[in-house]
Amino acid sequence: MKILVISLAGIGDTLIATPFIRELRENFPDVTIDALVRWPGAKDLLEHNPNVNRVFQKDLMTCGLLEVLRLFRLLRREHYQLSINTHPQGPRLYRVAAWLAGADVRISHEYERFTWLDRLLITGTLPQDYSRHSIENNSDVLPLIGAKKKLASPEMEFFLESGDERLADDFLAKHKLSGQNLLGIHVGSGGTKNLRLKRWPLKNYAGLVRRLNQKRPDLRILLFGGPEEINDQPVVLAQANHDLTVEVKTQNLRQTAALMKRCSAFLSVDTVLMHVAAAMKVPNQIVIEAPTLNPTNLPYGHPFTLVKNPAVAGRNLDYYRYDGGDIKGTREELLACMASITIENVYDTVTRLI
């Protein structure tokens, strides 16, 4: 038997899918379990997962038609008996991908804007539940495929290599950070659709770092990010004390995770690094509430402190659902929403915890 796990949404969503992949392996120890992902970072976190046989990675949104055809010709030749679109994957394109991969049985949750066409693309559906985490929504698939829930306490799994751990220690030693009280900060967010608008204002991050450098010189601040933050981190660094603030540059998500694992605290909105921080069990995790945060995507299985957004005021699902669309609201409205969280709010939370 061959199973294809399709996780084409965000990198964090792929990390959220790892407990489900573990459940598949516990139920079907001898089957082939492959994964199809969109982002190189998603491949980074799955390619050393012992529960996955192979990882296929392709950005279907940007690659050419010939690349798409080659990929799905390869997948169809595998003759998968079952494919599962993990939660959340609202856009129809992800169900088209399942249909093109050609598994005999194709499972997906039902989302807003679901139509008769979506039901032609797949063979089995189940409802999603916004009141429960995506990990729990994924586990609802198990009875549909003749499997049982076997993990008493599911956890997100990110397997690091010894080389990743060694590089993290070398980085800390190079910057004289070994044994220091480290606060990791990620100033970014997802870059698809209008998800950049859920970022806390960059000037606020700069003001926060400046204040922490002045008031808490015992803290060393690590600025995490990827290619999407390449122009943002210098803005923060320009106002920071460079003896106390270091920009992190890594080659892949595994190396990033290894460094995060050594932090005393981590601050972000709901991004892939928020989920990595939870998987790495970073103490004192702090989450700035964006409109996209809801029970389906909270840091799973790990305590965290929420800096509440007064503009959201519990109306998260009014702003964002898994319907394939943008965050609801104009650019000006969403910028004002995130600006409603003050530097004082976040500074007080950070200094209270560490």
Instruction: Examine the pLDDT at 281 and tell me if it is beyond 90.
Output: yes
Instruction: Report d(CA 328, CA 292) in Å as an integer.
Output: 10
Residues 119 and 205 in one domain: no
Instruction: Report d(CA 69, CA 199) in Å as an integer.
Output: 36
**The domain containing residue 57 runs over which residues?**
2-145
Residue of 43, 39, 6 whose CA lies nearest to 254: 43
For the stretch 298-337, pLDDT in tens is 999 999 999 999 999 999 999 999 998 999 999 999 999 9
Residues 26 and 125 in one domain: yes
151 lies in a domain?
A: no
Residues 252 and 333 in one domain: yes
Residues 140 and 175 in one domain: no
Q: How many independent structural domains does the chain possess?
A: 2
Residues 211 and 343 in one domain: yes
* Token digits of residue 100: 């093109």
Instruction: Examine the pLDDT at 191 and tell me if it is beyond 80.
Output: no
154 lies in a domain?
A: no
Residues 116 and 167 in one domain: no
Residues 212 and 312 in one domain: yes
Instruction: Examine the pLDDT at 229 and tell me if it is beyond 90.
Output: no
155 lies in a domain?
A: no
Instruction: Report d(CA 109, CA 24) in Å as an integer.
Output: 17
pLDDT for position 353: 95
Instruction: Report d(CA 175, CA 177) in Å as an integer.
Output: 5
Residues 130 and 40 in one domain: yes
pLDDT for position 63: 87
Confidence of residue 227 (pLDDT cuts 50, 70, 90): confident
312 lies in a domain?
A: yes
For the stretch 249-265, pLDDT in tens is 899 999 999 999 999 99
Residues 40 and 186 in one domain: no
Confidence of residue 61 (pLDDT cuts 50, 70, 90): confident
How many CA atoms are closer than 13 Å to the CA of 291, on its beta-carbon side?
29
Phi-psi region for residue 94, left (φ > 0), alpha (ψ -120 to 50) or beta?
A: alpha
pLDDT for position 64: 87
Average pLDDT over residues 51-80: 94
152 lies in a domain?
A: no
For the stretch 201-218, pLDDT in tens is 999 999 999 999 999 999
Q: Which of 145, 173, 190 is the last residue of a domain?
A: 145
pLDDT for position 346: 98
pLDDT for position 190: 78
Confidence of residue 78 (pLDDT cuts 50, 70, 90): very high
Average pLDDT over residues 90-112: 96
Residue of 170, 179, 184, 168 whose CA lies nearest to 255: 168
Mean pLDDT rounded to a whole number for the chain: 95
Portion of the chain with pLDDT greater than 70, in percent: 100
156 lies in a domain?
A: no
Q: 99 near 13, Cβ under 8 Å?
A: no
pLDDT for position 189: 87
Residues 140 and 194 in one domain: no
Concatenating the DSSP letter of every residue in 46-87 gives: HTT-TT-SEEEE--TTTS-HHHHHHHHHHHHHT--SEEEEPS
* Token digits of residue 299: 């840091």
Residues 104 and 234 in one domain: no
pLDDT for position 176: 95
303 lies in a domain?
A: yes
Instruction: Report d(CA 23, CA 265) in Å as an integer.
Output: 30
Q: How many CB atoms lie within 10 A of CB 314?
A: 8
Residues 136 and 214 in one domain: no
Instruction: Examine the pLDDT at 164 and tell me if it is beyond 80.
Output: yes
157 lies in a domain?
A: no
How many CA atoms are closer than 13 Å to the CA of 198, on its beta-carbon side?
26
pLDDT for position 129: 98
Q: Which of 84, 115, 145 is the last residue of a domain?
A: 145
Q: Can you give the CATH number for the domain in which 221 is found? A: 3.40.50.2000
- In this structure, of 73-77, 124-128, 228-232, the range with the lowest mean pLDDT score is 228-232
Q: 130 near 295, Cβ under 8 Å?
A: yes
Q: 336 near 163, Cβ under 8 Å?
A: no
Whose tokens are 């220690």? That residue is 169
Average pLDDT over residues 47-54: 96
Answering whether pTM is above 0.85, one says yes
Q: Which of 92, 118, 145 is the last residue of a domain?
A: 145
Q: Work out whether strand 265-268 and strand 245-247 pair parallel, antiparallel, or are unpaired.
A: unpaired
